[in-house]
Amino acid sequence: MTLRGRAAAAAASLLTAAALAGCAPPLRPLGPLNQVLQQAGVNHAPALSDRWLALISGRQGREQVLLIHLQTRRPVPLPGLNRPDAQPVSVSVDGEGERLAMVRQLDGRTELAVYRRSTQSLQRLPIDPPGVPQQVALSADGKVLAVQVSRGGLWGVDLIELP
């Protein structure tokens, strides 16, 4: 194929791709659920599973972890999770909404913890070798946790098997 033929073929491919992209409908937010989120305040660090949305929400500098059941579009209670002196950094939820993993700052340190809704208990998880956790991702079955950790100025990811 000649140079002119290749250029024409490339131009045709670009035009076809542009035409196909123009056919896609615009993405729209989910109205009723977004209204619930707006009422909660400023939201960030979302984690989505099949039926659950976990996120950090706050007003006037006071942030907390919220867990919203997607079918009912309502937050569920998380007794024992949100302390007034703790600042959540990252959150993740398993597929059943039973376990929430989180990184939070408390008393000048950053810690990793797992909350179990059925027992309303929070368990701090030590990091070995020591490091500073930043972000968490919990597997759908709630048995494996991926944690972004800083050690000596270098970032890494630890996989932790949960009991």
User: What radius of gyration do the chain's Cα atoms show?
Assistant: 21
State pTM to two decimals: 0.77
- Contact call for residues 111 and 122 (beta carbons, < 8 A): no
**pLDDT value at position 11?**
47
pLDDT along the chain (163 residues), means of 10: 50 49 63 61 80 88 91 93 95 97 96 98 96 97 97 96 92
For residue 127, give every residue at least 6 positions away whose Cβ sits within 8 Å of its Cβ, in sequence order, or none.
112, 133, 147, 149, 158
CA dihedral over 54, 156, 116, 126, signed as positive or negative:
negative
Q: How far is CA 153 from CA 33, 108, 128, 134, 135, in A?
A: 39, 18, 16, 12, 15
Structure tokens at 102: 């989180």
